[in-house]
Amino acid sequence: MRIDLTGRTAVVTGSSQGIGLAIATGLARAGARTVLTARGAERLRQAAAHVTEAVPDADLVTVACDLGRPEGAGRLLEAVPDADVLVNNLGIFGPTPALDVTDAQWREFFEVNVVSAVWLIRAYLPGMTRCGWGRVQNICSDSAIVIPAAMIHYGVSKTALLAVSRGFAKEAAGTGVTVNAVIAGPTHTPGVEDFVRELVGDGMPWDEAQREFMRVHRPQSLLRRLIEPEEIAHLVVYLSSGYASATTGAAVRVDGGYVDSIVP
């Protein structure tokens, strides 16, 4: 299958590292004009260099902005007023005992993980519907369904994002625009690698360490290893294409079988 997104503009939030960077690279490889966002200009420069190394002819735009704040969204929209593909990947996470999560933390997680996506959907969806074509994807997590005891606030924010995805899919019904959620499972990112090392120790090779982590701390996984960011990106690129024209309002799982369910 050859996916060609030439002529399309794709915005990927939180794309300076990890899953977001892999998604941006995949979309650029498919020919999309790809917009990378992050708060730091230097991190964006490094991310753009990474994409260009993988895709030498990549058409890239970088926008340094804090999308957890309204003025950040305004900066992005000023630089890129229209988009054909929107991937809301921006998110924060971190363990905190349930009774210790403060009001400020609840608000911050909701603002960054949910409201930032809503702002951008509201901004870009009208242009997509006028054109009769568009793709919106919200990167969710298995934590939206399997709420982690140590990160209730994070899990709840991702559950809300599932509802946001379904609701805006209904708003876009019949327009040629699709809106979906992508449920990512435990994924190998720098932050997660540090987390794994904390739990299983630094003494063993990485492949062994991640498998021990999955065996002890994520035994529900059928993959029995962490998912690589590129594996998430493959699904996102497909959902961004014309091949996925009949997939909308869905919560599509790329979770390595982590969620114990026989329905998507």
CATH of the domain at 27: 3.40.50.720
Q: Is the confidence at residue 256, as pLDDT, over 80?
A: yes
Q: Is the confidence at residue 43, as pLDDT, over 80?
A: yes
Q: Do the beta carbons of residue 170 and residue 109 sit within 8 Å?
A: no
Phi and psi angles of residue 156, each rounded to the nearest 5 degrees, phi first: -65, -40
The rounded distance, in Å, linking the Cα atoms of 47 and 49 is 5
Residue 238 designated active-site: no
pLDDT band at 205 (very low <50, low <70, confident <90, very high): very high
Q: Is the confidence at residue 191, as pLDDT, over 90?
A: no
Check residue 224 and give its pLDDT: 93
Asked if the structure places residue 64 within a domain, the reply is yes
Q: Do the beta carbons of residue 134 and residue 178 sit within 8 Å?
A: yes
Asked if the structure places residue 61 within a domain, the reply is yes
Q: Is the confidence at residue 231, as pLDDT, over 80?
A: yes
- The mean pLDDT of 41-69, rounded to a whole number, is 97
Active-site annotation holder among 124, 154, 243, 258: 154
pLDDT band at 21 (very low <50, low <70, confident <90, very high): very high
Nearest to 117 by CA among 79, 186, 167: 167
Q: How far is CA 69 from CA 47, 89, 94, 166, in A?
A: 22, 15, 20, 24
Q: Which domain holds residue 161?
A: 9-187+227-254
pLDDT band at 211 (very low <50, low <70, confident <90, very high): very high
Q: Is the confidence at residue 38, as pLDDT, over 90?
A: yes
Asked if the structure places residue 40 within a domain, the reply is yes
Residue 91: CB partners within 8 Å, gap ≥ 6?
14, 112, 113, 139, 141, 157, 158
User: Tokens representing 71?
Assistant: 């003025």
- The angle at the Cα of 120, spanning 116 to 124, to the nearest 5 degrees, equals 175
b vs e for 36-48, b when ≥16 Cβ sit within 10 Å of the residue's Cβ? bbbbeeebbeebb
pLDDT band at 226 (very low <50, low <70, confident <90, very high): very high
The rounded distance, in Å, linking the Cα atoms of 220 and 215 is 8
Asked if the structure places residue 222 within a domain, the reply is no
**Average pLDDT value over all residues in the chain:** 96
- The mean pLDDT of 85-104, rounded to a whole number, is 96
pLDDT band at 140 (very low <50, low <70, confident <90, very high): very high
Higher pLDDT, 64 or 263: 64
Check residue 187 and give its pLDDT: 95
In this prediction the pTM is 0.96
Nearest to 63 by CA among 41, 87, 43: 41
Q: Is the confidence at residue 264, as pLDDT, over 80?
A: no
Q: How many distinct structural domains can be found in the chain?
A: 1
Asked if the structure places residue 199 within a domain, the reply is no
Q: Do the beta carbons of residue 143 and residue 158 sit within 8 Å?
A: yes
